[in-house]
Chain A
């Protein structure tokens, strides 16, 4: 980013936060529900991008499979809700929102815990490839779930139920998602200053030295990966509630590329960068889809190239330095 943008960005991001906080009021005032829809989508994508920023921006781990966590979180809402409505699988059937979100976070963390150790044995381009492969694994797994719509996905007929809140009300859903975003940003803000965040950043820029100092770099990275997976899955649970629909395409590798694009456009490692990235993405998506119906593939490829280029994949040193 140029110098002007760099000084301007925090102000714009602050303004964006205010606009997002006030979005339900603004849209009610202008009677343009479409804008609230956009604002909520932006908010949820910003949660996912902030979670990815933790590993990619601070930790320097270019995960190209993060959309898998979105899908895992979304199906952690979709599957219990479906069984709650249509019976079967009592052990998981539930309309309870706390259960949905806990299941999302738990499943996301678990998936990261199992795939992380293998992925973290690799570096640079290999890490990108292996995380992408794990992501595609989830994609095909979800596609094969015929009970839950297979390729076509699953419509969610009852959103997550919370006491005192009703997610069928777009304003309430928006505010709760926004509160989640604030909580995630707060967590990352504290963490960057704390020993854990410092160690994670140290491993990004000086892995060899960090090991020689006595840090178990692999475990620190795994912890960050697991935390990031859980948070991204929570974003996925919000996405499911917002769209009232889940499908395997949420975990497609181009989705992972889009998340990477958001992180990198907003400035990898910057606390509020994911806000800028998500805003730019949502706007681009709107503009392009209004111009042509065939926007998705070229747009996706462009984003991924931009993301990989920015991550230094095409430079000689790779991204792990």
Chain B
């Protein structure tokens, strides 16, 4: 069994008295793809926000590879190798697809303090940006403003933003949200490739995708983690069936 990469220890968070994280213990191991599932409003995005630093937990600890990151600001965690995608696409809309990728690459190699030498003509940055765009099939759209892409292409760019820095942990919040069947299938293919050389925390509603991709699954219901285990274990868990999988038809 691999060592834990990300550990959540007794994480609590409440909004207006309503618990969105209630004593969450969770572990993502090095190299695994760990799916986090649960009905809408269960607190999955809020949990990711706490892992990445946009929300500070009321109580508990978050540890990345042995280092306590509970109180670090967002950008410091990113530099430690946390990369996330958002459920609602979050890009630099006014900039080109290429500049978006360039900024993602630049964040991890090079310095934002260079004021005179062009970033766009820097071969190292350029090649890395082109490579990451090619990986998500955006090679033909480099000059388009990110804000003018179709939803599907925006989701692909959203994914590219997380890949550029060779992160230690990929955190993907519903990468398939709003995609059509063909785009979804392509996304699953992509994630299957990424799974080979990345540790991934995946939040996803598409159960076929989850059971195809995940090594382990955690189930969150109303802020509580009610089960963690292999897909088979989770599938056969009585509480999970009652609380979540039975409702799958309604949730979709």
Residues in chain A within 8 A of chain B (CB atoms): 187, 190-191, 193-199, 201-202, 204-206, 208-217, 220, 223
B92 in contact with A205 (CB, 8 Å): yes
A212 to B113: give the CA distance in the assembly, Å.
Answer: 18
Q: Which residues of B contact A187 (CB under 8 A)?
A: 115
Q: Which residues of B contact A190 (CB under 8 A)?
A: 115-116, 118
A51 to B30: give the CA distance in the assembly, Å.
Answer: 48
A194 in contact with B118 (CB, 8 Å): yes
Number of contacting residues on B, CB 8 A? Answer: 39
B71 at the interface (CB under 8 A from A): no
B99 in contact with A198 (CB, 8 Å): yes
Do A202 and B90 form a contact, CB below 8 Å, given A193-B120, A194-B114?
A: no
B90 in contact with A195 (CB, 8 Å): no
A213 in contact with B115 (CB, 8 Å): no
CB distance from A198 to the nearest CB of B (A): 5
CB distance from B182 to the nearest CB of A (A): 26
A193 in contact with B119 (CB, 8 Å): yes
A205 in contact with B95 (CB, 8 Å): yes
- A199: nearest chain-B partner, CB-CB: B112
B94 in contact with A201 (CB, 8 Å): yes
Do A212 and B112 form a contact, CB below 8 Å, given A194-B119, A195-B106, A205-B95?
A: no
Interface-facing stretch out of B72-80, B131-139, B187-195: B72-80
Q: Which residues of A contact B78 (CB under 8 A)?
A: 211-214
User: Top 8 nearest A-B pairs by Cβ distance?
Assistant: A214-B78, A206-B92, A205-B94, A193-B118, A213-B107, A199-B112, A214-B107, A211-B74
A214 in contact with B94 (CB, 8 Å): no
Majority secondary structure of chain B interface residues (helix, strand, loop or mixed):
loop
CB distance from B166 to the nearest CB of A (A): 12
Contact mask for chain B residues 90-134; partner A; CB cutoff 8 A; 1 contact, 0 none: 111111000110111011101111111111110000000000000
A197 to B73: give the CA distance in the assembly, Å.
Answer: 23
Identify which of A201, A209, A220, A223 contacts B90 (C-beta below 8 A).
Answer: A209
B161 at the interface (CB under 8 A from A): yes
> Given A194-B119, A212-B86, list of 7 further CB < 8 A pairs?
A193-B118, A194-B117, A198-B103, A201-B95, A205-B94, A212-B83, A214-B165
Identify which of B79, B114, B120 contacts A214 (C-beta below 8 A).
Answer: B79
Can you give 12 contacting A-B residue pairs, CB < 8 Å? Answer: A187-B115, A195-B112, A198-B103, A198-B106, A206-B90, A208-B54, A210-B92, A211-B74, A211-B78, A212-B78, A213-B104, A214-B75
A217 to B74: give the CA distance in the assembly, Å.
Answer: 10
A210 to B83: give the CA distance in the assembly, Å.
Answer: 11
A310 to B79: give the CA distance in the assembly, Å.
Answer: 36
- A193: nearest chain-B partner, CB-CB: B118
CB distance from B172 to the nearest CB of A (A): 13
CB distance from B202 to the nearest CB of A (A): 17
B165 in contact with A209 (CB, 8 Å): no
Do A198 and B74 form a contact, CB below 8 Å, given A213-B107, A214-B108?
A: no
A198 in contact with B119 (CB, 8 Å): yes
A193 to B110: give the CA distance in the assembly, Å.
Answer: 14
Q: Which residues of B contact A193 (CB under 8 A)?
A: 118-121
Do A194 and B116 form a contact, CB below 8 Å, given A199-B103, A211-B75, A213-B103?
A: yes
B52 at the interface (CB under 8 A from A): yes
Tell me which of A187, A193, A204, A206 has the highest count of chain B C-beta atoms within 10 A of its own C-beta: A206
- A190: nearest chain-B partner, CB-CB: B116
CB distance from B41 to the nearest CB of A (A): 21
B112 in contact with A209 (CB, 8 Å): no
CB distance from B95 to the nearest CB of A (A): 6
A197 to B78: give the CA distance in the assembly, Å.
Answer: 21
B84 at the interface (CB under 8 A from A): yes
B79 in contact with A202 (CB, 8 Å): no
Q: Which residues of A contact B107 (CB under 8 A)?
A: 213-215
A214 to B114: give the CA distance in the assembly, Å.
Answer: 16
B91 in contact with A206 (CB, 8 Å): yes
CB distance from B205 to the nearest CB of A (A): 22
B93 in contact with A205 (CB, 8 Å): yes
Tell me which of B86, B110, B118 has the highest count of chain A C-beta atoms within 10 A of its own C-beta: B118
B118 in contact with A213 (CB, 8 Å): no
CB distance from B79 to the nearest CB of A (A): 5
Do A206 and B93 form a contact, CB below 8 Å, given A214-B165, A215-B107?
A: yes
A209 in contact with B110 (CB, 8 Å): no
A222 to B192: give the CA distance in the assembly, Å.
Answer: 42
A202 to B146: give the CA distance in the assembly, Å.
Answer: 12
A210 to B73: give the CA distance in the assembly, Å.
Answer: 13
A202 in contact with B113 (CB, 8 Å): no
B90 in contact with A215 (CB, 8 Å): no
Q: Which residues of A contact B94 (CB under 8 A)?
A: 201, 204-205
